[in-house]
Amino acid sequence: MFDVPKIVEAALPSEERNGRTLAITGGSMAGPGPNPNDQSFLSDEFPKSKPKLYITAEEEDGDFDEMTSFQWRNEGYDVLGYIGMGDGGSDYQAQLKALATQDLGPCESFGIVVHLAEGQETIGIVKQDQMVGIQGKKRTVTRPIKQGFGTGKLVKYNYPAYSYDADPGFAEESSDAFDAISADLAWTRSLTAAQRAFRRDVNIERQHEENVNAKYYSQDLKKCLSTYTQNTTPAVTYFPTLTGGIDADELQDFYAHYFLQPKQPKSLRLTLLSRTLGVNRVVDEIHVTFKHTTEIPWILPSIPPTKKHVEVIMVSIVTLRGGKIGHERLYWDQASVLYQVGLLDPNLVPPAAKKRGVTKLPVVGREAAQRRLNGNEDGEDGEADNNLIPDWYDDDEDEDEEEEGDGEDDEDEEEDEGQESDQGEEAGNDNRDHNGGTQPQNGTHGQASNNEQDDEGGSEEEEDDEGSEDGSDDGDHDDDETMVEPDKAHHSDEEPSRRS
């Protein structure tokens, strides 16, 4: 509920009005008036109080991990206090119920973050039956805390819940049981629940776009560094080469001397293909293209310019902390990059692998990036062609052969029936010439023999076709010549045009 008089007083105190009037407007008019649940009811500039939180866990007051409280404050929450569970029971429940009687200001509400006690095996779930708008009584049922399913370990309760392969206390940095990966997953899920409950819509794209623009377009070192968090240790990792930096000093050194121009080719172009937004993450799928005219330490460290064009798909995962970038992790197909600049030849198979029957390394060049950018030539959804799976098309070839064989058999039967009919007519006209009527027809046996020959001939043609397909496969990779003679690559020396 909104207390309108208090909202008016908070927005414009009575002693400052001087006869002025005040109106509250909203961008969404649902029903007879503004919808307070709509994000546009009040603008981002409207002064709002911070959402309030209490934290409760089994530790005594003062022993709980302070970093947890700091993380919530860093995201804009007002952590009012910590409540130890003690022995639980009525005293603990009374403390929690008393929180609802706290004096709250306009538009204020509060939430409780619970860290389950060590060794707890069950949890109480509030259920309320509903039927055609009629609600039954609320009741609490006990459910065991069990392992979830899938990689996300989802547990089937009445609300989103997850399990973790970690010991109790895994989310507290001061605990010996701290598990960084599980803690990060749990934090994102907890923050998502809180943002949704408080109806907070935080724009996380802006800070990310400021970072991308400073790094790849404006080449502004100061602006780039300003997008990273100062409250925790920021980190950037380009995983295929393990380049980047940890903490503000390393990031400044990395971007100043190993990333920005002149270490960045002017031909570098980025095209955003997709973007996935979470409560504190931005995941980008990017088409990257450049001409290797200078050493690029983050993708080709210690490799002199090869003058080759490179196209590759890159995935960027950015995690934000308190509205600033905390971690940035980037991935791409490094084998494809090495192939395109002439440092990896798929035809050069290690001797040990050759002994096991390997004839070519399963590596593709820029066609993978082009396929993602432009799609299949036939316009179908999806990009896979399975050309590197040797027997992928064998079933199709077998089906084609069977269809051809069935057609030939049908023709043979029709010819046999026609010939038998002709034989019967000739026998009748010749007054039942038994010798002529029982003699096998040369045409029938000749057709059967020809079928066998055609089958053999077809096999030879198929072998020829397979050979030509192998040759065409090699021909499709114009980078194969690059691998043997890099100076004779078929790549164009023209710089790629800028894409919007």
Determine the Cα angle at 457 with ends 455 and 461, to 5°.
Answer: 115
Supply 184's token pair.
């990060």
Q: Which residue from 32, 42, 31 is spatially nearest to 2, judged by alpha carbons? A: 42
Please, which residues have CB within 8 angstroms of residue 59's CB and are 6 or more apart in sequence?
Answer: 84
Per the confidence metrics, is the pTM higher than 0.85?
A: no
Q: How far is the C-alpha of 454 from the C-alpha of 449, rounded, in Å?
A: 9
Helix, coil or strand: residue 82: strand
Amino acid (1-letter code) at residue 175: S
Supply 84's token pair.
């130890």
Query: What pLDDT is attached to residue 474?
Result: 39
> Taking the mean position of all CA atoms in its chain, how far away is CA 423?
72
Query: What pLDDT is attached to residue 445?
Result: 41
Strand order in the sheet with 324-332: 243-246, 235-238, 324-332, 309-321, 281-291, 269-277
Is 202-390+475-500 assigned to CATH 3.10.450.50? yes
Q: How far is the C-alpha of 58 from the C-alpha of 35, rounded, in Å?
A: 40
Local structure of residue 224 (DSSP, 8 states) = H
Helix, coil or strand: residue 276: strand
Contact 78, 48 (CB under 8 A): no
Spell out the domain ranges in the chain.
Answer: 4-197, 202-390+475-500
- Put residue 244 in one of left, alpha, beta given phi > 0 → left and psi -120 to 50 → alpha: left
Query: What pLDDT is attached to residue 2?
Result: 52
Query: What pLDDT is attached to residue 497?
Result: 40
Please, which residues have CB within 8 angstroms of residue 57's CB and are 6 or more apart in sequence?
Answer: 64, 82, 84, 85, 114, 115, 116, 117
Query: What pLDDT is attached to residue 476?
Result: 41
Supply 490's token pair.
């078929």
Local structure of residue 363 (DSSP, 8 states) = -
pLDDT 10s per residue in the chain (500 long)?
455 666 677 777 777 777 666 665 554 444 444 445 554 455 555 556 788 888 888 777 666 778 888 888 888 888 888 888 777 778 888 888 888 777 676 667 788 887 765 555 556 656 656 666 665 666 666 666 667 667 777 776 666 777 788 887 788 777 788 888 888 888 888 888 888 888 888 888 999 999 999 999 999 999 999 999 988 899 999 999 999 999 999 999 999 999 998 999 999 999 999 999 999 999 999 999 999 999 999 999 999 999 999 999 999 999 999 889 999 999 999 999 999 999 999 999 999 999 999 999 999 999 999 999 888 777 677 788 888 888 887 766 655 566 665 555 555 555 555 555 555 454 444 444 444 443 444 444 444 444 443 443 333 333 344 333 343 343 344 443 334 333 333 344 444 343 43
